[in-house]
Amino acid sequence: MDASAVSLAAAASGYADTPRAVFRLSFHFGLFQFLMPIAGWFIGRGVISVISSLTPWVAFGLLTFAAARMIQSGITAPSNQDQKNDPSRGLTLVMLSLATSIDALAIGLSFAMLDVDILIPSLIIGGITILLSLLAIQVGSRLGTVLGQRMELVGGIILVAIGIKIVLPVFLSTVL
Give the pLDDT score at 38.
93
Give the pLDDT score at 13.
77
Give the pLDDT score at 80.
45
Query: pLDDT tens, position by position, for the chain (176 residues)?
Result: 788 888 888 888 778 888 999 999 999 999 999 999 999 888 875 666 566 677 778 778 877 877 787 777 667 655 544 555 677 788 888 888 988 888 888 788 878 877 788 999 999 999 999 999 999 999 988 887 776 666 667 777 877 888 888 888 878 888 87
CB count within 10 Å of CB 64 equals: 18
Q: Are 46 and 143 in contact (CB under 8 A)?
A: no
In tens, the pLDDT along 66-99 reads 778 777 766 765 554 455 567 778 888 888 898 8
Calpha distance 133→127 (Å, rounded): 10
Q: Are 134 and 27 in contact (CB under 8 A)?
A: no
Is the full-model pTM beyond 0.85? no
Give the pLDDT score at 48.
61
Q: Give the structural domain span for 93.
A: 2-175
Total domains, the chain = 1
Q: What is the maximum span of the chain, computed from C-alpha positions, in angstroms?
A: 54
Give the pLDDT score at 150.
66
Phi-psi region of 81 (alpha: psi -120 to 50; beta: other; left: phi over 0): beta
SS3 string, the chain, reads CHHHHHHHHHHHCCCCCCHHHHHHHHHHHHHHHHHHHHHHHHHCCCCHHHHHHHHHHHHHHHHHHHHHHHHHHHHCCHHHCCHHHCCCCHHHHHHHHHHHHHHHHHHHHHHHHCCCCCHHHHHHHHHHHHHHHHHHHHHHHHHHHHHHHHHHHHHHHHHHHHHHHHHHHHHHHHHC
Give the pLDDT score at 46.
61
